[in-house]
């Protein structure tokens, strides 16, 4: 948290209460895959006079600073999550097509595959995104 504030300051952005609250909400829901609107709702509980546009602008800003990243799952709604600290990216998603829940898993699986991509396709890999769609354990047992 402190280093994020540091980063903001050093990039000549001002540390406003609104930005702090957005960060706070993101930290409190780290596994949440929140949409801009989700963040807005949560932030509004703490600072009711905040505007939706400010939330969007803050999320945009944090994305540009590479603090968070914007993802799309099955819908056309952007969701945001913290970018992992390390520059290797071993972090994937399990998306339940029944209940819509998105779970995170953290495994180092794609290292060899990335190498193959770089060699076979002459493609410089910077990041990747891996999502599995299926039925989560809870929905499997509920059997609906």
Q: Which stretch binds DNA (CB under 7 A): 46-54, 83-91, 95-103, 130-138?
A: 46-54
Element containing residue 6 per DSSP (H, E): helix 2-10
Q: How many CA atoms lie within 13 A of 115 on its CB side?
A: 3
Shortest separation between residue 86's beta carbon and DNA, angstroms: 27
What tokens appear for 118 in the block?
């770089």
Residue 97 in the binding site for DNA (CB under 7 A) = no
- Cβ neighbours around 27 below 10 Å, total: 11
> What are the CA-CA distances from residue 82 to residues 28, 65, 85, 109, 126 (Å)?
11, 11, 8, 20, 17
49 binds DNA (CB under 7 A): yes
Q: Could you give the angle at the alpha carbon of 99 between the alpha carbons of 103 and 130, nearest 5°?
A: 35
Regarding 33 and contact with DNA (CB under 7 A), the answer is no
14 is a contact residue toward DNA (CB under 7 A)? yes
Point out which span in 5-13, 18-26, 46-54, 104-112 binds a copy of itself (CB under 8 A): 104-112
Nearest distance, CB of residue 131 and a copy of itself, angstroms = 5
- Residue 10 lies near DNA (rule: CB under 7 A): no
Instruction: Please report whether residue 103 would count as binding a copy of itself according to CB under 8 A.
Output: yes
Q: How far is the CB of 140 from a copy of itself (least distance, A)?
A: 6
């Amino acid at each position: 948290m402190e280093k994020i504030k540091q980063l903001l300051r050093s990039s000549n952005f001002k540390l406003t209460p609104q930005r702090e609250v957005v960060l706070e909400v993101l930290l409190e829901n780290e596994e949440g895959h929140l949409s801009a609107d989700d963040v807005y709702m949560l932030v509004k509980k703490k600072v009711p006079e905040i505007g939706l546009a400010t939330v969007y602008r803050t999320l945009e800003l944090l994305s540009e600073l590479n603090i968070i990243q914007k993802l799309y799952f099955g819908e056309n709604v952007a969701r945001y999550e913290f970018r992992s600290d390390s520059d290797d990216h071993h972090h994937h998603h399990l998306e339940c097509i029944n209940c819509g829940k998105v779970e995170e898993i953290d495994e180092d699986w794609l290292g060899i595959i990335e190498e193959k991509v770089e060699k076979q396709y002459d493609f410089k890999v910077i990041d990747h995104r891996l999502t599995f769609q299926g039925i989560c354990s809870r929905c499997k047992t509920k059997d609906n």
